[in-house]
A and B are shown apart, each in its own frame.
Chain A
Amino acid sequence: MIDYSKKLNSRATALKPSGIRKFFDISEKMTDVISLGVGEPDFQTPWHIRQAGIESLEGGKTRYTSNRGMEPLRKEIANYMKRRFELDYDLSEVLVTVGGSEAIDLAIRALVDTGDEVIIPQPSFVCYEPIVKLAGGASVVVELKAENNFILTPEQLEEKITDKTKVLVLPYPSNPTGAVMPKEALEKIAPIIIKHDLMVVSDEIYAELTFNNNRHISIAEIEGMKERTIIVSGFSKAYSMTGWRLGYALAPEPIITLMTKIHQFAIMSAPTTSQYAAIEALKNGDEDIKKMVSEYNSRRRLVVKGFNKIGLTCFEPLGAFYAFPCIKSTGLSSEEFCEKLLYSKKVAMVPGTAFGDCGEGFVRVSYCYSVEHLKEALKRTAEFVEELKNNG
């Protein structure tokens, strides 16, 4: 019998498993659970985009593409960045990846040497820390605060910088908080980043999902930042193309070249069918995005109002499709709240602690569901909170 513990990579083995698994397993066994836990859109990929993918298959487009991604796609990505975010990127500064996830992984692997420190604001998406650790780097957590609307402040950033700090991960709009960094906030942290010569990996996968008519501002738009920023984004959230696994990275040429090198050895190239579909998405998908954002917006308002009415205060999320209500008033921990809610009312939410220790006291609620589904969930949650008050 092989003792596998002696055969497996120690860095990977040391990674903490996702704490959420337990809930997933429990909720799977129950029936009639109203989940508010998913992280993907409930919309289908718009038909014309699926059609483009299908046509490419019918046309026999099933070979590898260039490692960097098809040139027409990279051109469309560059056009899109100029059109939507007023950023100019050359073809040589664009890399097509397998989802935004691969772009993040490549960015970290391209920048981080053993022992380099990477500052990661939390609560945030669970993949950053493991990716940094696998690359041999050290993660340094900044605990974002509700009173700052979960924005990274210059003081918080400055405090965590050491002589080993190499990279700052900046994930906005944010999963799980729904926070965005407005231009003024970005302008405040830029000088510190420049002063300490840091690189930034800006995870902008939710850039199209912003509300209240505020266009997402990338940190790359701030003076002096473009040369030290890797923007990672993709098609999953904006165009409801999660399963297509397609994303991209935008950065100065030397960085993209290195990322491409790693990418070509590890992955070869991103899926060809998805690339054809993505070209169609960028060319003709603007209206689809508008429709989806408008739909998310109604739900966002309903959910935020709903939680505030129940007494679980929720700061107003201006991006992504999550709300991050505070459950401290119940006296329960995030995990206790979610577990009790699941068992007594069959509503599933994700404890804030899944996104970092500082998520304690919060829960993440996705609003990628129909209004009816959300209303039912709010109703049951209100009952739950009422019962807690009466019993406690």
Chain B
Amino acid sequence: MNRKLLKLLAKNARYSLTDLADMLETTEEKIKDEISQLEKDGIIRGYKTVIDWERLDEAYVSALIELNITPLPDSGFEDAAEKIMKYDQVESVYLMSGGYDLTVIVKGKTFQEVAMFVGKVLAPMKGVISTATHFVLRRYKELDIIMCDDQKDDRESFWL
């Protein structure tokens, strides 16, 4: 039941307990307990709302930064990753295979702000060899949610 519940929550964190209970053929009590347990076990790490800030004309800029790091003996890239992830401006940190070591996604109010962060905080950090900053110009899809205008249902509304 875990898996199915997680799949539903991954799709929409705001399903009511009633809806979840109906869809999984169980009781609201059981769902509540299940969710609590998953949270305790660290499997559910949090709940986020996907917002299109641009529609509000709110200043919102994000950038994907490719970092190359000198790995340390024993800890590898851990130290750098742990240091970087503590910053509020940093939305995501991933260790990567391929041409560079860490992907860091940084958000800010302006291009300036993000560039400053990269230049003043990330680039000079101990162990960082190089950075390559790519600004996001337009979001089409984020976390499985389509950000552009609603896709029309082009099926005939009745069919026999």
Contacts and interface: CB of A to CB of B under 8 A. Distances in A.
Interface of A: 18, 20, 23-24, 27-28, 33, 35, 37-40, 42, 125-126, 294, 298-299, 301-302, 305-306, 348, 350, 354, 371-372, 375
Contact of A301 (B25, B153, B159, B160): B25
Contact of A20 (B15, B23, B160): B160
A227 to B, nearest CB: 33
B157 A375 contact: no
Interface centre among B22, B153, B155 (most CB of A within 10 A): B155
A37 B22 contact: no
A23 B158 CA distance: 8
Contacts of A23: 158
A365 B8 CA distance: 22
A18 B160 contact: yes
Given A23-B158, A40-B159, A302-B22, 10 more contacts: A18-B160, A20-B160, A27-B157, A27-B158, A38-B155, A38-B159, A294-B4, A298-B4, A302-B23, A375-B19
5 pairs of A and B residues whose beta carbons are closest in the complex: A35-B157, A298-B23, A39-B159, A37-B158, A305-B22
Given A294-B4, A371-B12, A302 B157 contact: no
- SS of B interface (majority): loop
A38 B23 contact: no
20 contacts: A18-B160, A24-B156, A24-B157, A27-B158, A33-B157, A35-B157, A37-B157, A38-B156, A38-B157, A38-B159, A40-B155, A125-B160, A126-B160, A294-B4, A298-B24, A301-B23, A301-B25, A302-B19, A350-B158, A350-B160
Contact of A28 (B15, B19, B25, B157): B157
Interface of B: 4, 8, 12, 15, 19, 22-25, 153, 155-160
Contacts of B156: 24, 38
Contact of B158 (A38, A301, A302, A371): A38
Contact of A298 (B8, B153, B158, B160): B8
Contact of A39 (B15, B19, B22, B160): B160
Nearest to B25: A301
Nearest to A175: B160
Contacts of B153: 42
B159 A37 contact: yes
Contacts of A375: 19
A298 B11 CA distance: 13
Contacts of A126: 160
A299 B12 CA distance: 14
Given A40-B155, A42-B153, A371-B12, A306 B22 contact: yes
